[in-house]
Amino acid sequence: MKKTYFLSSLLFIFVSCIHTQDIIDERVSNQIPSEANQVIIETSLSDDELFDTISETLIREGHRIERDRELMSINTEGRDIGLTTYVRYNLLIADGTVTGRVDWMSESHSKSNSGVYWREAKWTAGRSARAFASLTDLLLQFEHETFRFK
């Protein structure tokens, strides 16, 4: 029983050390509802302008991307964002709106041979929140009129 309590406490402390302050401003993070899994920005740009701008930015930042202009979707391969957290972004553009989702996994899973453990990122805690913060930071750097979380 004591061993279980100790391990649970240790895990809580470790997860608490994974933070988002170095990624997004507290004023933005305070607006994100718990369990949000989408970042949505609305712009006055055309879908083609958004597609090109986002693609160019991701490539310039070192992402490998797959994109489909017909579907207006951009997906990235996994990339390390620090603190042993890997992310891959899924972006969909329609009617001047970009809807983004992000998956995450830990470095230990990325190097294991036992399969891939991508998980949907949500605004919760630990690596999931760090991944979601990285998506928020990415999308808020683009010209936008409004943004929201869902």
CATH code at position 35? 3.30.530.50
Residue 129 sits in which domain range?
A: 2-149
Domain count, the chain: 1
Per-residue model confidence (pLDDT) at position 101: 98
- Please list, residue by residue across 39-69, b when 16 or more beta carbons sit within 10 angstroms of its beta carbon and e when fewer do: bbbebebebeebbeebbeebeeeebebebee
Residues 132-143: tens digit of each pLDDT: 999 999 999 999
Per-residue model confidence (pLDDT) at position 20: 57
State what percent of residues in the chain have pLDDT above 90.
73
Q: Report, as an integer, the average pLDDT of 8-20.
A: 45
Residue 46 pLDDT more than 80?
Answer: yes
Answer for the pair 100, 38: CB distance below 8 angstroms, yes or no: yes
C-alpha span between 117 and 112 (Å, rounded): 10
For residue 101, the tally of other CB atoms under 10 A from its CB is 19
What is the residue whose two structure tokens read 């712009």? 43
